Structure 1
Amino acid sequence: MLAIPMKRFDRPVLGFLSREEMQAIPEAPDARTWAGERDRALFSLMYNTGARVSEAIGLRVGEVAVNGSAVAHLHGKGRKERSVPLWRTTAHLIRNWKRRLDYGGEENFLFPNRGGGCMAHSNVTQRLELAVSAAAERYPQLARRSISPHTIRHTTAMHLLQSGVDISVIALWVMRAPPRRTYTFRRISP
């Protein structure tokens, strides 16, 4: 069986959005509503960090620092961790969102559902569809495209590449970094 060659097929080209299209998506939700402000902060963080949906919805309040050097500490597949710096606009949105959360606790989800629990992947996909529909009023071409949360991840990588960022840096930014190693030293008495 191992000698049978694999079926050849064309892999689909992964899509990404232009900067203007991507910028329109986080701006689309109504910031006057609780869900709208959450969605703006969530989509901005996903674009800024290139986070997978599971990484974004699993973030806790204490894992995103917005004062001083703003950074998000993401936990990816296979218990891989990475820390990604946040842009000023993303940090500002998250800072405002944290104020609005007002239910305390560093261990609470940063982007909760209405009940305070973890959002589902399908909920993020649904909220993104609503934002894309609203953004399509300004950019009609968005209505004809299939845009998923993973499209945002590809958009991040492509925009970094187009900006001249080295591919190895993009891999660390968007992909996963090797696990952090901790060493325990014990003192040996003479």
Structure 2
Amino acid sequence: MTPPTLSSLLQGFFTARLMRHLRASPQTFAAYRDTFKLLLTFAADQTKRSPAQLTLDDLDAVMIGAFLNYLDTERHNSTAPRNARLAAIHSFSRYALPLIPECAHTASQILAIPHRRHDQMTVSYLTRTETDALLAAPDRTTWYGRRDHALLLTAVTTGLRVSEITTLSISDVTTT
């Protein structure tokens, strides 16, 4: 039996692993897709071959290290996006490892590439005075003001993110 190609491994990773097994969110799927588009374009430029001609051997630890350096120097990515892209590459390596055991050494070298450490931002909270000022800002004599006040009050009292609030529907509300 012939070993799987890079394209078949990527297809299996996205369809079997991310979609079926992990049931990854559309955002995760898109982020991983973008990572591999960047990686394959970068590797193609480095090897002077088209992305379709790349093999799994082309994506070794040296190439991944050069790609991460490219993200830092050329694309000016901060630590968080760099680590997110590395997480996608690590996930692919863990997926491919049992399918191509002859590349175990390469996969283990890729998996050994550490995430970059960065300082966590301190989460700051609004003071009571700031919260009261925020809630008092909308003009509640208008329909838009009452709507804005309700959204702000929901955000302040529940701690939901804006993306979570905008996806709320009437069925999500319970009155008790």
Compare relative contact order (CA 8 Å, sep 6+) and give the higher one, 1 or 2.
Answer: 1
TM-score range, shorter chain: 0.3 to 0.5
* Higher strand residue share: 1
* Higher helix residue share: 2
Instruction: State the structure with more CA Rg.
Output: 2
- The normalised TM-score by structure 2 is 0.34
